[in-house]
């Protein structure tokens, strides 16, 4: 299945290292690298979505929870629920890229199904795959992989949302030492209405950290578990979301996951995977929004011409396609890095379980970056979709209205985008302190460059992407300059400067997304020729252009917030130098090139 050679694997960067190390185009995995097996999987998921989900989109708006449950069963029969579950537990045991591909293509029709799918096969099943012991895996995974049982993940409480380790749910050991009695209240639990088991996090005595438990649920024999009413939500109307109350729920001691006090680690690691998969889940939703929007734009006539002929509409279609393309590029790049890291660890003697755990943890920064970027791109894409549909966009009879409402939740769950922004910068700083990513060396060099005399040589940018790749290198210097100085200035107190962290996160996110987009296109130009990649080249340039703007704005905001006088002047001059184009891209032409392709193919064609 792997298309990367062993020598590529040796060059594999650690998580976060993209910021300080070069990646060659040949070393990134792209959707164009899907193996035949992966393409077959994609086609069969698409066929399932087109046959089973798309025709029922209206029904999904009617709070039909049984419909979601029935279709989840069908997805189980097709094997889709067990893609990442090892074969010995009746799953398909496929690699991380295939797992991403399934969650991507299964999520395009409706957020109701994609949430149920993600809650079950991601956070509902993964804690057992990653942390379960042999008995637990044997007992639960086959049922979950086939859809005989459904899973849920119960972490959030009324008083413990973003502060997930602060939950009050208690687990008390019974006198005979055979059970834990769980008592407490969980909130916003996806799949609660039809699940057969939940991963529940509770605190034992006054432990600093919570503990994870596998808790079975049978409505006929509820064992102290009761459910609240279905929540009335803005979107994902047929996704079951309820409160769950535990009142002395007896859980056998053997159902504890991993060790006492390791629940927070379990919860966070499950969320790392959940985050990158959520990014995947935003991709096909974007493609399908673009498909619907361009079809409408080609059909809808105003002023005696299809609205697709208007530059205003073309500009939107081009931007929507560009962000979807960037999301694909970065998501599959990271997914393959995770897959390779898992296989390296296995080659080094780790069990599959340990390897997967450590492999994903390694790329937690990228997982957070992708979650934020893809969820916000999806939101923009559906929002512009509504605008293209005009008044019809506002109507529940057209597809954009529900797509927009469904998209909104992706910025909130699996850690809000604020939390994920702060996490990705915080984790990077921690990695630097542990010596896993050398930020200090490169940051010092940037400092020297700032005080040195700039070169006035005219660079040779005649080769494709020569200037763009140079620009990405310079953008990395911007991050090192801003975040590096901030770390020096504030030390551990940096975490109290949230606006600065958020600005730094935006710089980091844009760098990863822009670089991934350019590398994907460069790889494809090298093998398929530049003529076949005209629009992809345009999208890469357009994405970078916006990234430069965003980074300029965020970096300036950061610099003036903490630097004064000469230091401020020097950094602002550096910023100007690091964000300067020699040859300004003609963004109007770039958008035209991209839009022409989307409009002529009447779909997202990349």
Ligand X SMILES: Cc1cc2nc3c(=O)[nH]c(=O)nc-3n(C[C@H](O)[C@H](O)[C@H](O)COP(=O)(O)OP(=O)(O)OC[C@H]3O[C@@H](n4cnc5c(N)ncnc54)[C@H](O)[C@@H]3O)c2cc1C
Catalytic residues, which ones?
A: 414
Q: Between 98 and 129, whose beta carbon lies closer to ligand X? A: 129
Question: How far is CA 353 from each of CA 126, 232, 236, 256, 344, rounded to the nearest angstrom?
Answer: 10, 38, 32, 17, 13
Q: Between 119 and 443, whose beta carbon lies closer to ligand X? A: 119
**Measured from the CB of residue 329, what is the shortest distance to ligand X in angstroms?**
27
Rounded to the nearest 5 percent, the helix, strand and coil shares of the chain are 65, 10, 25
**Measured from the CB of residue 384, what is the shortest distance to ligand X in angstroms?**
23
Tokens of 379: 């939101």
User: Which among 489, 475, 490 has a CA at the least distance from the CA of 442?
Assistant: 475
Rounded to whole angstroms, how far apart are CA atoms 92 and 140? 15
* DSSP secondary structure string for all residues of 475-540: HHHHHHHHHHHHHHHHGGGGGG-HHHHHHHHHHHHHHHHHHHHHHHHHHHHHHH-GGGGHHHHHHH
Q: Determine contact, residues 483/497, Cβ cutoff 8 Å.
A: no
Q: Determine contact, residues 211/203, Cβ cutoff 8 Å.
A: yes
User: Which residues form the interface with ligand X (CB under 6 A)?
Assistant: 119, 153-156, 161-162, 188-190, 233, 241, 409, 412-413, 415-416, 418-419, 498
135-154 per-residue burial string, b: 16 or more CB within 10 A, e: under 16: ebbebbbbbbbbbebbbbbb
Q: Which segments of 245-310 does DSSP mark as H helices, in order?
A: 263-299
**Measured from the CB of residue 230, what is the shortest distance to ligand X in angstroms?**
11
Find the residue with minimal CB distance to ligand X: 161
Q: Beta partners for 247? A: none
Rounded to whole angstroms, how far apart are CA atoms 584 and 586? 6
Residues 431/432/438/444 CA torsion (nearest 10 deg): 160
458: how many CB neighbours lie within 10 A of its CB? Answer: 7
Rounded to whole angstroms, how far apart are CA atoms 347 and 299? 55
Q: Determine contact, residues 91/141, Cβ cutoff 8 Å.
A: yes
Sign of CA dihedral 47, 51, 55, 60: negative
Tokens of 237: 């109307």
Q: Determine contact, residues 382/289, Cβ cutoff 8 Å.
A: yes
Q: Determine contact, residues 190/153, Cβ cutoff 8 Å.
A: yes
Q: Beta partners for 202? A: 211
Phi, psi at 307, each rounded to 5° = -65, -20
**Measured from the CB of residue 236, what is the shortest distance to ligand X in angstroms?**
6
Q: How far is CA 447 from the centre of its chain?
A: 33
Tokens of 554: 């965020």
**Measured from the CB of residue 225, what is the shortest distance to ligand X in angstroms?**
15
User: Which among 341, 314, 482 has a CA at the least distance from the CA of 11?
Assistant: 341
Beta strands 211-216 and 170-173 are unpaired
Q: Determine contact, residues 16/427, Cβ cutoff 8 Å.
A: yes
Placement of tokens 């080249």 in the chain: 537
Placement of tokens 């399932």 in the chain: 48
């Amino acid at each position: 299945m792997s298309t990367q050679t062993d020598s590529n694997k040796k060059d594999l960067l650690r998580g976060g290292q993209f910021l300080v190390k070069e990646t060659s185009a040949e070393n990134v995995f792209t959707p164009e690298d899907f193996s035949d097996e992966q393409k077959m999987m994609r086609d069969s998921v698409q066929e399932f979505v087109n046959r089973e989900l798309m025709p029922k989109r209206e029904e999904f708006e009617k709070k039909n929870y049984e419909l979601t449950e029935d279709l989840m069963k069908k997805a189980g029969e097709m094997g889709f629920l067990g893609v990442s579950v090892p074969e010995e537990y009746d799953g398909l045991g496929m690699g991380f890229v295939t797992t991403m591909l399934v969650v991507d293509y299964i999520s395009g029709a409706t957020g109701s199904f994609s949430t149920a799918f993600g809650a079950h096969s991601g956070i509902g099943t993964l804690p057992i795959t990653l942390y379960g012991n042999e008995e637990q895996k044997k007992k639960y995974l086959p049922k979950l992989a086939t859809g005989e049982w459904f899973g849920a993940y119960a972490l959030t409480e009324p008083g413990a949302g973003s502060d997930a380790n602060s939950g009050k749910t208690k687990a008390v050991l019974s006198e005979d030492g055979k059970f834990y009695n769980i008592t407490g209240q969980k909130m916003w639990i996806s799949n609660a209405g039809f699940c057969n088991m939940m991963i529940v996090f509770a605190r034992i005595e006054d432990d600093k950290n919570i503990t994870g438990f596998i808790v079975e649920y049978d409505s006929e024999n509820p064992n102290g578990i009761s459910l609240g009413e279905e929540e009335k939500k803005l979107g994902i109307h047929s996704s079951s979301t309820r409160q769950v109350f535990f009142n002395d729920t007896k859980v056998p001691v053997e159902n504890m996951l991993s060790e006492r006090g390791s629940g927070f680690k379990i919860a966070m690691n499950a969320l790392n995977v959940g985050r990158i998969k959520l990014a995947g889940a935003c991709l096909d939703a974007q493609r399908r929004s673009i498909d619907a929007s361009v079809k409408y734009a080609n059909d809808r006539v105003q002023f005696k011409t299809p609205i697709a002929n208007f530059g205003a509409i073309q500009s939107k279609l081009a931007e929507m396609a560009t962000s979807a393309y960037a999301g694909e590029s970065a998501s599959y790049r990271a997914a393959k890095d995770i897959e390779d890291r898992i296989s390296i660890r296995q080659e080094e003697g780790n069990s599959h379980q340990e390897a997967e755990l450590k492999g994903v943890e390694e790329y937690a920064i990228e997982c957070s970056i992708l979650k934020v970027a893809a969820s916000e791109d999806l939101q923009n894409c559906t929002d512009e979709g509504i605008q293209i549909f005009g008044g019809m966009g506002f109507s529940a009879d057209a597809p954009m209205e529900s797509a927009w409402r469904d998209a909104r939740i992706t910025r909130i769950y699996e850690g809000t985008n604020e939390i994920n922004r702060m996490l990705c910068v915080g984790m990077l700083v921690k990695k630097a302190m542990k010596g896993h990513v050398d930020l200090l060396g490169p940051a010092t060099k940037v400092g020297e460059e700032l005080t040195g005399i700039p070169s006035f040589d005219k660079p040779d940018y005649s080769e494709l992407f020569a200037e763009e790749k140079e620009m990405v290198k310079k953008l990395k210097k911007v991050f090192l300059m801003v975040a590096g100085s901030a770390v020096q200035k504030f030390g551990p107190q940096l975490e109290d400067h949230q606006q600065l962290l958020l600005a730094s996160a935006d710089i980091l996110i844009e760098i990863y997304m822009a670089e991934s987009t350019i590398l994907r296109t460069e790889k494809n130009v090298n093998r398929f020729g530049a003529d076949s990649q005209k629009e992809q080249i345009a999208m890469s340039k357009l994405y970078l252009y916006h990234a430069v703007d965003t980074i300029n704005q965020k970096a300036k905001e950061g610099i003036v917030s903490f630097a004064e006088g000469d230091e401020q002047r020097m950094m602002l001059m550096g910023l100007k130098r690091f964000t300067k184009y020699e040859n300004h891209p003609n963004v109007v032409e770039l958008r035209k090139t991209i839009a022409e392709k989307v409009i002529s193919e009447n779909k997202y064609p990349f």
